[in-house]
Structure 1
Amino acid sequence: MKAVTLKEIKQELNTLSTQEIQELCLRLSRFKKENKELLTYLLFESHNETGYIDSVKSYMDNEFEQINTDSYFYIRKSTRKILRNVKKFIRYSQKKETEVELLLYFCQKLKDFKPSIKRSTQLVNMFNRQVLLSKKIIGTFHEDLQYDYNLILEDFNL
């Protein structure tokens, strides 16, 4: 079965009633966890972006506390998992300010992590990639926001 284009899906949705659209959404949410998470964001959290950012930050805090620090292998594996989930949460929001805020918080948590990430080249590279991505996004912001975020970025020199 080949998937149809987004335009065709949009046209078909215009022909359906609200009850049918509701049933489709509920059916979609049963198949993938990501679909359910996206619907949760859209229905309950999209109107309160700061609350959403705070909940993702608390998720990061919790995950960083649970990292197994026995070896750098486990630390790398856990931080990649955290970053993958944070990127997924960023995709739900699709707001650049949220993306920068969460990436900078991730970088701050990684920088303050004990044992130091300086002893692992992969972790330092992961940190640097996220800082560069944040700088690139910040470059598209208004001058006032750029200034505020660049002040935060100055603290990230390893």
Structure 2
Amino acid sequence: MKPASAKEIRDELKHLEREELLEIVQRLARFKKENKELLTYLLFDAQDEEEYKLKVKTELDEEFIEINRSNFYYTKKSMRKLLKNVKKYSRYSGKKETELELLIYFLQKMDNFKPSVQRNKILKNMYDRQLDFVKRNMEKLHEDLQYDLKMELEKLSGT
């Protein structure tokens, strides 16, 4: 079954009553964890972006502590999972500055990680790709934000 386009869905939603809309949103929240997380962001966190970034950073801190450092396979797998989460949380926000700030924070955590990610080719490549992504996308932001994020980037040992 082919899903309807975003425009078709938007047009159809305009014709629904308030109660019907609430029912649809509640059903969406039941089906996928990402839907529920996005609704949580939109309802509770979208008003205060700084608080949202702080929550994500706190969660990252906790997950970095829990990484299994004894086996490289699990370390690599955990790092990829953390990066995937950072990208997911950034997508919920939809703001470039939030995405870049969270990525820079992730890179700082990687940079301070022991054993060093610079010694491992796979983790080093992941680090470098994200660093390049941040540098490329910083140019699209306002000059003041660019300056603030450049200051954060300079703290990383690889730059």
What do residues 13-46 of structure 1 show as CA deviations (whole Å, max 9, x unaligned)?
0000111000000011110010000000000100
Aligned identity (percent) is 51
- Aligned residue number for residue 139 of structure 1: 139
What is the TM-score when the length of structure 1 is the normalising length? Answer: 0.96
What is the TM-score when the length of structure 2 is the normalising length? Answer: 0.96
1:23 aligns with 2:23: yes
- Aligned residue number for residue 90 of structure 1: 90
Unmatched 5+ stretches in structure 2: none
The alpha-carbon deviation at position 113 of structure 1 amounts to 0.3
Task: Tell whether the 8 Å contact from 2:107 to 2:131 is kept in structure 1 after alignment.
Answer: yes
Quote the Cα distance in structure 2 between the aligned partners of 1:94 and 1:118: 30
Quote the Cα distance in structure 2 between the aligned partners of 1:92 and 1:142: 21
Query: Please, what is the CA RMSD of the aligned residues?
Result: 0.9
3-state SS of paired residue (2:130): helix
The alpha-carbon deviation at position 144 of structure 1 amounts to 2.0
2:23 maps to amino acid: E
The alpha-carbon deviation at position 157 of structure 1 amounts to 3.5
1:33 aligns with 2:15: no
2:156 maps to amino acid: F
Quote the Cα distance in structure 1 between the aligned partners of 2:123 and 2:65: 17
What do residues 48-89 of structure 1 show as CA deviations (whole Å, max 9, x unaligned)?
101100000011000000000012221111000011111111
